Structure formats: structure tokens, C-alpha cells
Amino acid sequence: MAAEGGGGGGGAVYDPSYVPDSVKTFVAHMYRHVREKNVYEIHQMYEGGFQRLSDRLFRDAPWPAAEAVSPYCDGDHVFLLLYRELWYRHAYARASSSSSSSAPLTAGQRAESWANYCDLFSVVLHGVVNMQLPNQWLWDMVDEFVYQFQSFCQYRAKLKNKSDDELHQLKQFDKAWNVYGVLNYLQALVEKSMIAQILEREKEGLEQFTATDGYDYQGGSNVLKMLGYYSMIGLLRIHCLLGDYRTGLKCLAPIDLNQQGVYTIVIGSHISAIYHYGFANLMMRRYAEAIHEFNKILLYILKYKQYHQKSLQYDQILKKNEQMYALLAVCLSLCPQHNLIDENVSTQLKEKYNDKMTKMQRFDEEAYAAYDELFSYACPKFITPSPPALDQPLTNYNQDAYRLQLKLFLYEVKQQQLLSGIRSYLKLYSTITIAKLAQYMEVDEATLRAMKNLSQYLYRSILMTYKHKMHAVDNNGKIVSSADFDFYIKEDVIHVMESKPIKRHGDYFLRQILKFEEMIGELEKVQFD
């Protein structure tokens, strides 16, 4: 780990070989717990001990080099790979922190982190890993792997102000974080773990994967199995970053989001899965599905976010929460189905974006500006995975992928300019003539008749456009509708069939019961003199 010596911050000069006593104790105890498969103690040290030591001793400097702590873990190769994974994660966190004085990571350091992940995943895929690790750590491992790939692509795309040394390192480490390598490792973890088959057998009652939270209580290991499980979410995220939404959704298909699953155990994996799933559905015009999933996760966060206030992921939870409200506002503006969202979520949404949602219904320049603003705020940080041409004039192209996705999204929005008016008028009638609809929409009927066939013009150019935009193809190749009504045309008369929403009285009573329980709890705290 040659790059470890180059990551020091301000103050005293960083000595990678110096190991404080508290770190010696930490490493020795962590190693013992890993060998004993003591998941509870590993989780306590991973979530608590590592962060406390980082804040106290390594706020402005890296942790000691892996070679320096090797004597305190018997030089165990696999454990040192895990230690290096934490080392680089801490280095990335310091480099990205606004309060840290640390220098940005070099291409060499990023390449070394890539090499460590390759070694670690190769051991898991081709070796015998006889240990159990907390689900939180295994999720963070996959999440960090994808984040570092994304970070490297962004770093590599900013060429304009790079020094000669930085450009030389980019040439030297041009194989690091290759998109095919990243995808291949995640896909290999999915296939080798046979997680898709495990989840399929669980549906038939032949497996106990969800009931055991993915852990193996028969003396085996959960590492490959859970890395394979979380890799499906990682693949969804990467394909969203690349703009390949259909492939991303296919990668997540083995996980049934309508059932309680292991992905909900770790709040980070829960939010990441639903955020990227919802965004992919939005970009594929599956608005109703996106609204349904955003509503579920936002309601969950609304109820339980106070229990994660001490979590390291709390700020990220709040950020994704705000982004998903923005995406929900976009979905409801393009496909107004407010009956799909809970009243508590609806209240929060109105407080945040009521004015913008009103603007987005108008489809003028202000509306496009609102769509642009919300999309730019809430979308993933898209990447261009191909390496730059360093022999050409150096420019920054890190925003190219984002601009392309924004352009495609706004093009889709502009195509629906006439559709908002159609929906509002058709909702008012069970039957309406095409001529009358044209009159309401301020379309000159005489002008249209001059085009020889008014019915055919409107049918094909506007009404069929509405049908097309309100339908999409799901993962099974089935055409599904996002509209809350349907229509057909017979002899220049439009016949509207509105679907009646199913009244769920149970949801109302459950909400009232919860409210009363909260009130009773508050009353019990009152002290009477």
C-alpha cells in the first residue's frame, strides 16, 4: 500500500508505520471476533469503534498502513484485505469532507483501492471464506465499490486543470476502474452466490433466507451470499448511472420489492434500491410504479428516521429523502394519480413542492424550468465510463452524461405539452365529440378540417399520443397503463371509462389507531401534581 504514506493531512507528519495502542487493541479484538464469527461484536466495532477512533485519532490523517498492523492479526491475508477496504474508505471520506484539509486522492491511490477490491472479491469468488460479517459492512462494501467507481469516472473526466503528473498517472493506471471489470465482478458475485436461485426457492418454501436475514446459522459463511444479494442493487445503481434503465431493472428483478426482504434490514440498501428503482421507472414512463414505490419509502422514512439520527448515514438518508420527494413531484405532474400516495406523504409533498407542481401543470417556459430544476437536483450523478483521449486538447466532460439525460427527459416532457389539457377535459365527460374537445383545447376546428380529416388528425396526433405516453412495457414484456382512465373512439365520439379507485378503509383506521397510540403515549408521560 505505497499510496498510504501519501495521504496525510495537516499538523504532524504522517508516519504509516506508527500504530497507536488503541489501534493495536482494535485490530486484535476485531480479528479475534472475525475468527470466532461473532457478528454482534464485529458490528459494534465496525459501527462504533472504527468511527470513534477515526474521529479521535485520524481526522486529518490516514489510519496506519496494513503492513504496520499485520503483527496484530497474525498477518492474516483476508483480514488485511478487509482492513485495507476500511483504510481506503476512510481516505475517500476524508478527501470528500468539506471540514477536512486532506489533499484529493491521486489516480494512483484510487488504482490501489481498485486493486484491493479485486483481490478481496477474488478471494470471495475463488477461495474459501469461512467467516460471517454484519450485513451493514457487506452492504457498505458494495456501496463503496460503486461509489469509488463513480468517483473515479468523475475525476478522470475533469481534465482541464490537471497537472502533468496527474495526466501521467491516468495513463499509467488506465485499466483501473474499467467499467467492464466493475460490472463483471458484481455479476460474478451474483452468479457464484446463486442468490437468484436461493430467492426463487424461498418463494417455494425451500429456503429460509429472509427469515435469517441472510446469515448462516449452520456454521457456514454469509459473505458470498450477501455480497451477491447486495450486488444486484449495486448493478441497478451502475446501470442507472450509465442511463441503461431497462438492464438495471432486470438486475434487480430477483428481489421482490412487494415483500419484506433482506434489503430492508440495512437502511442504506433499502433507500438505494427504491431510489434507483423509482428513478429508472420514471425514465421509462412507468410513472404509477415509481409513485407507488416512492410513496412506500417516503412513508417509511417519515415514520422511522428519528431512530437513525445517530447513524453515520443519517445525512445521506435526509438527502435521498428530499431527492425522492422531488422525483415524486415530477411523477405526479406527468401522471396525476394522487390516490396512490398516503395523506402524510401528500402533506409533506405540498409543503415542499406545491408551487412548483402548479407551475409544471402549465407546460410553459416556467414549467420546463421547474422540471429542469427538480430533475437536476434529484437525479443520480451520471457518468461517462470510457477513458479520455489524452492526446487531444484537454477539456472537462464530466457533465456530458448528465446533460444528455436531462435533454432526453425534457424532450419527453415537451412531447406531453398537449396531454395535460386532454386529461383534464376527458376526466369531466363520459362521452365527448372530437369537435367539442378541439374547441375546448382552443384548436381551430376549421383549420383542422382543412387538413381533410379532423377525426383522423386528432386521433392519431393527440389522442393516440396520450395513450402511448400513458403506457409502458414492464419487466415481463407486458404493456401496462399508468393512466387512471381509458377511452375509445366511435364515430367521432370519445367514450371515457374511468377506473374507480379501490377504497381502502383499513388504511384509514390503521392511521387513526397509530395517532391514538401516540396520544396515549404522550398522556402517560404527563406528571400530575
487 in helix, strand or coil? Answer: strand
Domain closes at, from 232, 266, 300? 266
- Whether the Cβ atoms of residue 34 and residue 131 lie closer than 8 Å to each other: yes
514 and 467 both lie in a single domain: no
CA 281 from centre of chain:
12
pLDDT at 430: 78
- Whether the Cβ atoms of residue 488 and residue 479 lie closer than 8 Å to each other: no
Count of C-beta atoms within a 10 Å radius of residue 513: 10
The full length of the chain comes to: 529
Q: CA–CA separation, 142 vs 186, rounded Å?
A: 8
Cβ-count burial 241-279 (b if 16+ within 10 Å, e if not): bbbebeebbebbebbebeeebbbbebbbbbbbbbbbbbb
182 and 310 both lie in a single domain: no
| Phi, psi of 347, rounded to the nearest 5 degrees | -60, -45
Question: 11 lies in a domain?
Answer: no
Question: 407 lies in a domain?
Answer: yes
373 and 477 both lie in a single domain: no
194 and 225 both lie in a single domain: yes
pLDDT at 513: 82
pLDDT at 496: 77
**Terminal-to-terminal C-alpha distance of the chain:** 66
pLDDT at 417: 67
What is the widest separation between alpha-carbon atoms in the chain? 89
Q: CA–CA separation, 87 vs 113, rounded Å?
A: 9
Cα angle 398-402-407, degrees, rounded to a multiple of 5: 140
pLDDT at 446: 54
Question: 119 lies in a domain?
Answer: yes
81 and 189 both lie in a single domain: yes
257 and 324 both lie in a single domain: no
Question: 375 lies in a domain?
Answer: yes
31 and 153 both lie in a single domain: yes
Question: 329 lies in a domain?
Answer: yes
pLDDT at 505: 64
357 and 258 both lie in a single domain: no
CB burial of residue 216 (10 Å; 0-12, 13-18, 19+): middle
Low-confidence ranges of the chain (pLDDT < 70): 1-12, 98-102, 363, 417-421, 424, 438-462, 468, 471, 475-476, 481-485, 498-508, 511, 527-529
The answer for 61, left when phi > 0, alpha when psi is -120 to 50, beta otherwise, is: beta
Question: 137 lies in a domain?
Answer: yes
Edge to edge, the sheet with strand 485-490 lists 431-433, 493-498, 485-490
Q: CA–CA separation, 138 vs 246, rounded Å?
A: 26
306 and 373 both lie in a single domain: yes
CA neighbours closer than 13 Å in the CB half-sphere of residue 183: 15
323 in helix, strand or coil? Answer: helix
- Whether the Cβ atoms of residue 116 and residue 84 lie closer than 8 Å to each other: yes
Contacts of 177 by beta carbon, 8 Å cutoff, 6+ apart: 110, 111, 114, 148, 149, 152, 153
C-alpha cell at 397: 466532460
142 and 156 both lie in a single domain: yes
Instruction: State which H helix or E strand residue 243 sits in.
Output: none
Range of the domain at 84: 18-94+107-266
310 and 234 both lie in a single domain: no
User: Which candidate, 89, 133, 118, 143, places its Cα nearest to that of 225?
Assistant: 133
pLDDT tens sequence across 432-454 = 777 777 666 665 555 545 444 54
169 and 120 both lie in a single domain: yes
Question: 383 lies in a domain?
Answer: yes
Question: 200 lies in a domain?
Answer: yes
How many domains in the chain? 4
pLDDT at 431: 82
| Phi, psi of 207, rounded to the nearest 5 degrees | -135, 160
Q: CA–CA separation, 329 vs 321, rounded Å?
A: 13
